[in-house]
C-alpha cells in the first residue's frame, strides 16, 4: 500500500506541503519516495530511495522544487525492486504526464506489450509507469477525436478510457504538463480523498496526511475522476457526467485518522484481511487455474521434489503447519515444519530435490535469514513467501512469492498471516496439479472456494460483537488452552500466540488427542479450553476431547462450522459458528474470530495491543 499526496493552491509552495504530508505517512512504512512539481510548463521531479528525510535533504526541504502545484508519493513496493528508478512519480514516455499510484494494475504486463508495440518506452519495472503511458496514449487519441474540447476535458476523458482497460486497483494523482495549477485524480478500490480549503486543495490517499491542514474532505468513489484546481474541485463519473460531491467534515484526531478511525492498528488490520487476501490471490487464478507468473520454477523441478521443509518463526511458522497438512494431503510430498532458530543448527538433511519454503512478513527475521542461508549452503533451493519486496530473505531466495498485505503496523501479525496462508494454498494447488496428485473435481472445488474466501472472511468478521462479548466473560482468565486436530490444530497454534502476545495471558495450544498424555493434569475448575473443530472428519473426536476436559471442570469455548456445530451443542459453554468452506481453506476463516477474541481480551485487560511489551515487529537479532 503506497501513500499519495498532492497540493495545488494560488500562493503556497507545493513541495514543502507534499513533503510535510509524506512525513505524516511515515507510520505506514515504505521503501522510497518522490515529489513532482509542475511549474512553467515543466515537471521538476526528485525521487529518493529510503525514508522521506532523505527526500527532504535532496529537495532542500522542498525549496529545490518551486511551484504551487505538485504531487508526492511513498512507495511500498509490489512490482519492481524498491529503488529510485521504480520510485514514483513516474513520467509517461512522451513526457506529458506525471503520475503517482497506490494499488495494483493486474494486467500491466499485456498493456506494457501493447504500448511497446506502439513505440512507447519504459524506464522502470512498475505497473504505474504503464498506467502513465496508457493515459498518454488515450490522451493523444482523445485530443485527435475531440480537438475543440478543453485540455482539462481531454485529460479527464483520457483517464476514463485508460481506466476502462486496466484491471486491478488504483488511486492516481496525475499532472498534465499543459494544465498548470491542475491535479487530476482517479480511483478504483484504493482510497483517495481531496482536502478542500481556501489556501488550496490537498490530494491524499490517507486523511491523516492532511488533517492538520483541513478537516473538509471529498471522498472519491470507485471510477470517479476529479479535476482539482486552486479554486475548487470538479468530480466526474466514469461516464464523464459531472457529479455534485460535497466535502464532509472529519472530526477525527490525527492518530485516529492514521488508523482510519479504528482504535488500534490490530483491529484495522484484522478488518483489512479480506482485501489483502483478495489482492494476494487476484491475478494468480486465471480461468479456474493457479497461474504463478511471478514464479519462474520449471515443472520438471516441481515434479522431482522429494521432500519439503518449511521454516519460519512465530506466526509465520504456524502458516507452515497449516500448509503441511494441505501439501501432504493434496501433493503427497512429505513436509517437515522446522522453526528457523532450530533449522539453522539441526543439520537438516537436504539435497537438490529438497524444496525449502521460508515464510516471513518482514523478510528480515535473523533466524529465518540464517535458515535460508543454511538451506542454500546444503544444496537446497529456497522459495520464500514475504511481504516486503527487496527484503534480505526475498533477495537471497531462489524464488519469491509476495504477499500483498501492505504494511502491517501492529506487532501482532494478522493480515500477513492470512495472506501467507493464501499463498500456501496457491503453492499446494500448483504442486498438486503439476504432479497429478489431485482430482480435477477437488482442484476445482478448492479454486472455487478460494475465490469466494475474501467474502467468507467478511462473514467471519461480522462475528465481532459475539467475540467482544465472549472476551468480556473470559478476559480475567489466567491460563487458556487451545485444542484442535489436524488443520484445526494449526489454527490453535496461531490463536494461542495471538492471545498470549497481546493479552499476556499464559496460553498453550495442543493437538486435542495429546491432552491425555499429560497436559490434562493442568485442567482445573473454570479453566478455559478453546476448542477449534472446523475440520469435519475429526470434529466428533475433538468433541470427545472437549468432554474429557469439561468433566474435569473446564469451560469450553468452541469454534465450529455449521457442519460441525452439532457435536458441541451439549458440550460448549459458548460456541462461535464460522462459515463453512473447503477444508483446505478452513484456517483462513477459523483464525478470524480467534484474532478478534485475543484483541478484545487484551482490550479488556487494558493492554497496549499494537506494541506489546518485550516484542518487536521484526526480530532482526538471534
Asked if 315 touches ligand AGP (CB under 6 A), the answer is yes
C-beta of 135 vs 371, nearer to ligand AGP: 371
Asked if 411 touches ligand AGP (CB under 6 A), the answer is yes
Helix boundaries (H) for 214-295: 254-258, 265-271, 273-281
Rounded alpha-carbon distances, angstroms, from residue 553 to 286, 522, 527, 529, 537? 51, 11, 7, 10, 27
C-beta of 22 vs 591, nearer to ligand AGP: 591
To ligand AGP, the closest distance from the beta carbon of 368 in angstroms equals: 5
To ligand AGP, the closest distance from the beta carbon of 149 in angstroms equals: 51
C-beta of 205 vs 413, nearer to ligand AGP: 413
Is the distance from CB of 222 to CB of 170 less than 8 angstroms?
A: no
Is the distance from CB of 71 to CB of 5 less than 8 angstroms?
A: yes
Give the Cα separation of 112 and 116 in Å (integer).
Answer: 6
Asked if 183 touches ligand AGP (CB under 6 A), the answer is no
To ligand AGP, the closest distance from the beta carbon of 541 in angstroms equals: 29
**Binding residue for ligand AGP (CB under 6 A) from 16, 195, 314, 407?**
314
Which residues are CB-neighbours of 353 under 8 A, at least 6 positions away?
304, 305, 306, 307
Kindly write out the interface string for residues 469-508 of this chain, putting x where it contacts ligand AGP by CB under 6 A and - elsewhere.
--------------------------------x-------
- 569 phi, psi to nearest 5 deg: -55, -45
Q: Is the dihedral of CA 577, 452, 275, 288 positive or negative?
A: positive
The DSSP string of 130-165 is: HHHHHHHHHHHHHHHH-TTS-HHHHHHHHHHHHHHT
Which residues are CB-neighbours of 300 under 8 A, at least 6 positions away?
none
To ligand AGP, the closest distance from the beta carbon of 361 in angstroms equals: 3
In the structure grid, which three cell numbers stand for residue 178, read together? 499543459
To ligand AGP, the closest distance from the beta carbon of 81 in angstroms equals: 19
Asked if 407 touches ligand AGP (CB under 6 A), the answer is no
**Binding residue for ligand AGP (CB under 6 A) from 78, 341, 362, 496?**
362
In the structure grid, which three cell numbers stand for residue 556, read together? 469450553
Asked if 451 touches ligand AGP (CB under 6 A), the answer is no
To ligand AGP, the closest distance from the beta carbon of 393 in angstroms equals: 8
Rounded alpha-carbon distances, angstroms, from residue 210 to 50, 129, 206, 214, 329? 22, 26, 8, 7, 51
The residue nearest ligand AGP at its CB is 314
To ligand AGP, the closest distance from the beta carbon of 532 in angstroms equals: 18
Asked if 618 touches ligand AGP (CB under 6 A), the answer is yes
C-beta of 337 vs 411, nearer to ligand AGP: 411
With cell 482504535, the residue in question is: 263
Is the distance from CB of 594 to CB of 460 less than 8 angstroms?
A: no
Asked if 322 touches ligand AGP (CB under 6 A), the answer is no
C-beta of 412 vs 434, nearer to ligand AGP: 412
C-beta of 13 vs 315, nearer to ligand AGP: 315
Give the Cα separation of 362 and 383 in Å (integer).
Answer: 15
**Binding residue for ligand AGP (CB under 6 A) from 163, 192, 218, 316?**
316
Rounded alpha-carbon distances, angstroms, from residue 364 to 396, 402, 516, 578? 11, 14, 39, 34
Is the distance from CB of 463 to CB of 457 less than 8 angstroms?
A: no
Q: Parallel, antiparallel, or unpaired: how do β-strands 69-75 and 90-91 relate?
A: unpaired
C-beta of 416 vs 515, nearer to ligand AGP: 416
**Binding residue for ligand AGP (CB under 6 A) from 361, 400, 403, 492?**
361
To ligand AGP, the closest distance from the beta carbon of 383 in angstroms equals: 15
To ligand AGP, the closest distance from the beta carbon of 412 in angstroms equals: 4
Asked if 3 touches ligand AGP (CB under 6 A), the answer is no
Is the distance from CB of 487 to CB of 587 less than 8 angstroms?
A: yes
Q: How far apart are the first and last CA of the chain?
A: 29
Using the contact rule CB under 6 A, the part of the chain among 12-20, 65-73, 168-176, 362-370 near ligand AGP is: 362-370
Kindly write out the interface string for residues 259-298 of this chain, putting x where it contacts ligand AGP by CB under 6 A and - elsewhere.
----------------------------------------
To ligand AGP, the closest distance from the beta carbon of 259 in angstroms equals: 18
- 585 phi, psi to nearest 5 deg: -105, 0
C-beta of 250 vs 266, nearer to ligand AGP: 266
With contacts defined by CB under 6 A, how many residues of the chain interact with ligand AGP? 15
Nearest 5°: CA angle at 310, between 309 and 315? 160
Using the contact rule CB under 6 A, the part of the chain among 91-99, 243-251, 357-365, 514-522 near ligand AGP is: 357-365
Catalytic positions are 2, 617
Asked if 424 touches ligand AGP (CB under 6 A), the answer is no
Asked if 366 touches ligand AGP (CB under 6 A), the answer is no
C-beta of 257 vs 609, nearer to ligand AGP: 609
Q: Quick one: which H or E segment has residue 376?
A: helix 366-377
Q: What single-letter DSSP state applies at residue 382? A: E
Asked if 412 touches ligand AGP (CB under 6 A), the answer is yes
Asked if 365 touches ligand AGP (CB under 6 A), the answer is yes
With cell 535458515, the residue in question is: 371
Using the contact rule CB under 6 A, the part of the chain among 189-197, 302-310, 325-333, 409-417 near ligand AGP is: 409-417
Residues binding ligand AGP (CB under 6 A): 313-316, 360-362, 365, 368, 411-413, 501, 618-619
Amino acid at each position: 500500500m503506497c501513500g499519495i499526496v498532492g497540493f495545488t493552491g494560488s500562493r503556497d509552495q507545493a513541495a514543502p506541503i507534499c513533503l510535510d504530508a509524506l512525513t505524516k505517512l511515515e507510520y505506514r512504512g515504505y521503501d522510497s519516495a518522490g515529489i513532482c512539481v509542475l511549474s512553467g510548463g515543466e515537471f521538476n521531479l526528485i525521487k529518493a530511495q529510503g525514508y522521506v528525510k532523505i527526500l527532504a535533504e535532496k529537495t532542500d526541504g522542498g525549496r529545490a522544487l518551486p511551484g504551487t502545484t505538485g504531487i508526492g508519493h511513498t512507495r511500498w513496493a509490489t512490482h519492481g525492486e524498491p529503488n529510485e528508478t521504480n520510485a514514483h512519480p513516474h513520467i509517461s514516455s512522451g513526457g506529458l504526464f506525471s503520475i503517482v499510484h497506490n494499488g495494483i494494475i493486474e494486467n500491466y504486463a499485456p498493456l506494457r506489450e501493447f504500448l511497446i508495440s506502439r513505440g512507447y518506452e519504459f524506464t522502470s519495472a512498475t505497473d504505474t509507469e504503464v498506467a502513465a503511458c496508457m493515459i498518454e496514449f488515450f490522451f493523444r487519441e482523445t485530443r485527435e477525436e475531440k480537438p475543440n474540447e478543453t485540455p482539462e476535458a481531454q485529460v479527464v476523458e483520457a483517464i476514463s478510457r485508460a481506466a476502462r482497460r486496466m484491471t486491478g486497483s488504483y488511486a492516481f494523482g496525475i499532472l498534465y504538463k499543459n494544465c498548470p495549477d491542475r491535479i487530476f485524480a482517479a480511483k478504483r478500490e484504493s482510497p483517495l480523498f481531496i482536502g478542500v480549503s481556501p489556501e488550496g486543495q490537498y490530494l491524499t490517499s490517507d486523511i491523516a496526511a492532511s488533517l492538520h491542514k483541513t478537516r473538509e474532505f471529498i471522498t472519491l468513489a470507485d471510477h470517479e475522476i476529479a479535476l482539482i484546481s486552486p479554486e475548487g474541485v470538479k468530480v466526474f463519473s466514469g461516464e464523464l457526467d459531472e457529479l455534485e460531491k460535497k466535502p464532509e467534515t472529519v472530526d477525527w484526531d490525527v492518530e485516529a485518522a492514521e488508523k482510519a478511525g479504528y482504535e488500534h492498528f490490530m483491529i484495522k488490520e484484522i478488518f483489512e484481511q479480506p482485501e489483502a487476501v483478495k489482492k494476494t490471490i487476484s491475478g494468480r487464478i486465471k480461468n479456474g487455474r493457479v497461474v504463478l507468473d511471478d514464479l519462474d520454477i520449471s515443472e520438471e523441478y516441481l515434479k522431482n521434489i522429494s521432500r519439503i521443509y518449511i521454516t519460519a518463526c512465530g506466526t509465520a511458522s504456524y502458516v507452515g503447519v497449516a500448509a503441511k497438512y494441505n501439501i501432504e494431503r493434496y501433493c503427497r510430498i512429505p513436509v517437515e515444519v522446522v522453526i528457523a532458530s532450530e533449522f539453522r543448527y539441526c543439520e537438516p538433511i537436504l539435497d537438490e530435490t529438497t524444496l525449502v519454503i521460508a515464510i516471513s512478513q518482514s523478510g528480515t527475521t535473523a533466524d529465518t535469514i540464517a535458515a535460508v542461508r543454511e538451506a542454500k549452503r546444503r544444496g537446497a533451493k529456497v522459495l520464500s513467501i514475504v511481504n516486503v519486496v527487496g527484503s534480505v530473505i526475498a533477495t537471497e531466495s531462489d524464488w519469491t512469492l509476495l504477499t500483498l498485505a501492505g504494511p502491517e503496523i501492529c506487532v501482532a501479525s494478522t493480515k500477513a498471516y492470512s495472506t501467507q496462508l493464501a499463498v500456501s494454498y496457491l503453492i499446494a494447488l500448483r504442486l498438486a496439479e503439476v504432479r497429478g496428485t489431485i482430482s480435477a473435481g477437488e482442484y476445482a472445488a478448492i479454486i472455487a472456494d478460494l475465490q469466494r474466501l475474501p467474502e467468507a472472511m467478511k462473514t467471519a468478521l461480522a462475528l465481532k460483537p459475539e467475540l467482544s462479548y465472549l472476551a468480556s466473560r473470559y478476559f480475567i482468565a489466567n491460563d487458556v488452552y487451545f485444542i484442535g486436530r489436524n488443520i484445526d490444530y494449526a489454527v490453535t497454534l496461531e490463536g494461542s500466540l495471538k492471545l498470549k502476545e497481546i493479552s499476556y495471558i499464559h496460553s498453550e495450544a495442543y493437538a486435542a488427542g495429546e491432552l491425555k498424555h499429560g497436559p490434562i493434569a493442568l485442567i482445573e475448575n473454570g479453566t478455559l479450553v478453546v476448542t477449534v473443530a472446523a475440520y469435519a472428519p475429526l470434529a466428533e473426536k475433538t468433541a470427545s476431547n472437549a468432554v474429557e476436559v469439561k468433566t474435569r471442570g473446564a469451560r469450553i469455548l468452541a469454534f465450529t462450522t455449521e457442519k460441525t456445530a452439532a457435536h458441541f451443542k451439549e458440550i460448549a459453554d459458548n460456541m462461535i459458528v464460522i462459515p463453512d468452506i473447503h477444508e483446505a481453506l478452513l484456517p483462513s476463516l477459523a483464525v478470524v474470530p480467534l484474532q478478534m477474541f485475543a484483541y478484545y481480551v487484551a482490550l479488556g485487560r487494558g493492554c497496549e495491543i499494537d506494541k506489546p511489551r518485550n516484542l518487536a515487529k521484526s526480530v532482526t537479532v538471534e
